[in-house]
Amino acid sequence: MPLSADCRALIDALSMPVFVVHGDGSLEWLNRRARQLLAGSAPQSIKSLLASPSQSDAFLRVMRRNQSFSHLALHLRAPLQDSYIASTRIAREGEFLDCWLLELLPRQLVVGGMHQLSQMIQRTTALKRERAVAEKTAQLALTQASRDSLTGIANRRAFDECLAAALVKADQQQDWLSVMIVDLDYFKAINDTHGHDLGDQVLQRVARLLSGTLTRRGDQVARIGGEEFGVLLPGADVHASLKVAWRLVMTLRQYNAGCPAGDSWHPVTLSVGVATRCPDQSISGRDLMRQADRGLYLAKERGRDQAVHAVPSAQTDPPLADTR
């Protein structure tokens, strides 16, 4: 079915040369600009327009797939030698099937545009790569800034940030929040007697033990001072937080008992102070940590190697489930 008069009129009005070609390569029609360019000649096939007619089959395969940019390597005969072919399929049901518009564009403009596009893509790719490297570097720096260099766990800065976020979340959800301050008993004597290298090893192992003992998602442990660790327990009430505190104490006791002879480990115990914020209580993170520090002072005063809650009425003896 030939092109309708309306289609021909529309294509004829285009300022660029346009050829209407069938899938077999036969030319259906040329618009006014194409006829002017060919000075009245009427080619019957796309093969007659190609500088290398043997390429016609390959060209037709590319054209049928609408792979316009693949035509860039194709050269036309004079006076079309400075043009570049871009193909567009116009198969429209009820009017014309398996027909393509071959538009001739200035090759110099297209090649230059492709070169600029290629350069733009290269620059964009380079910028994306640089941005990815910068983001990775920034993330690494942020991670390093929030980690304790000796133990590898979170540091005081990260703990304070987590505590502030946990307070906001507890307010929003009207939930419990508990904190602990964990201190290594007589740690200065270890450094003074056995040296700082052994002291560093003790801190590293304790950090691993504390991290491994906290199994709930959201719990956080950090080194907040020389031999002090902070523990954050979102959603834990007085009883639950004390239970976790005694589990930490008992874990270290069991580790001391099971450590083989000749190991570089030096037995050490923990004193733990615990403080809890009730759902309806308004208290700052600093005041909550002060309460935990008060509990730690009581644990030290009562002989160390134990956990004490800052609230006087709280249970201070180890829960039975944690002493077996």
Nearest to 306 by CA among 291, 316, 315: 316
Helix (H, G, I), strand (E, B) or coil at 101: strand
127 class by beta-carbon count within 10 Å (0-12 exposed, 13-18 middle, 19+ buried)? exposed
Averaged confidence pLDDT in the chain:
82
Categorize the per-residue pLDDT at 324 as very low, low, confident or very high, splitting at 50, 70 and 90.
Answer: very low
> Model confidence over 261-314: pLDDT tens digits?
667 778 899 999 999 999 988 889 999 999 999 999 999 999 999 999 998 666
Q: What is the DSSP string of 207-251?
A: HHHHHHH--STT-EEEE-SSSEEEEEEET--HHHHHHHHHHHHHH
pLDDT of residue 316: 58
Q: For the chain, what's the residue count?
A: 324
Give the pLDDT band (50/70/90) at residue 235.
very high
pTM of the predicted model, to two decimals?
A: 0.57
The H or E element that residue 193 is part of is: helix 187-194
Number of Cα atoms under 13 Å in the Cβ half of residue 291: 19
Q: List, in sequence order, every residue forming a beta bridge with 99; answer none if it has no partner.
A: 22
Q: Is the CB of residue 283 less than 8 Å from the CB of residue 275?
A: no
Is 70 in a helix, a strand, or coil?
Answer: helix
Catalytic residue among 28, 130, 135, 227: 227
Q: Return phi, psi of residue 82, to 5°.
A: -100, 20
Of residues 191 and 241, more confidence is placed in: 241
* Alpha carbon separation from 86 to 11, 67, 185, 308 (Å, rounded): 15, 8, 81, 81
Angle of CA points 283, 287, 290, to nearest 5°: 150
Residues 6+ positions from 108 with CB-CB distance below 8 Å: 82
pLDDT at 109: 59
Residue 315 pLDDT greater than 70, yes or no? no
Determine how many CB atoms are found less than 10 A away from the CB of residue 110.
Answer: 18
Structure tokens belonging to residue 216:
């709930």
Q: Which of 96-100, 184-188, 237-241 has the lowest mean pLDDT?
A: 96-100
Q: Is 227 a residue of the active site?
A: yes
44-to-19, 25, 66 alpha-carbon distances in Å: 11, 9, 22
Look at 111-115, 232-236, 305-309, 310-314 and tell me which has the smallest mean pLDDT. Answer: 111-115
Report, in angstroms and rounded to the nearest whole number, the Rg of the chain calculated over CA atoms.
39
**pLDDT above 90: residue 27:** no
CB 309 within 8 A of CB 275: yes
pLDDT band at 88 (very low <50, low <70, confident <90, very high): confident
| CA end-to-end span of the chain | 92
Task: Find, among 170, 147, 172, the residue nearest to 158 by Cα.
Answer: 147
Which of 285, 180, 190 is CA-nearest to residue 238? 180
Looking at per-residue pLDDT, the higher value among 18 and 120 belongs to 18
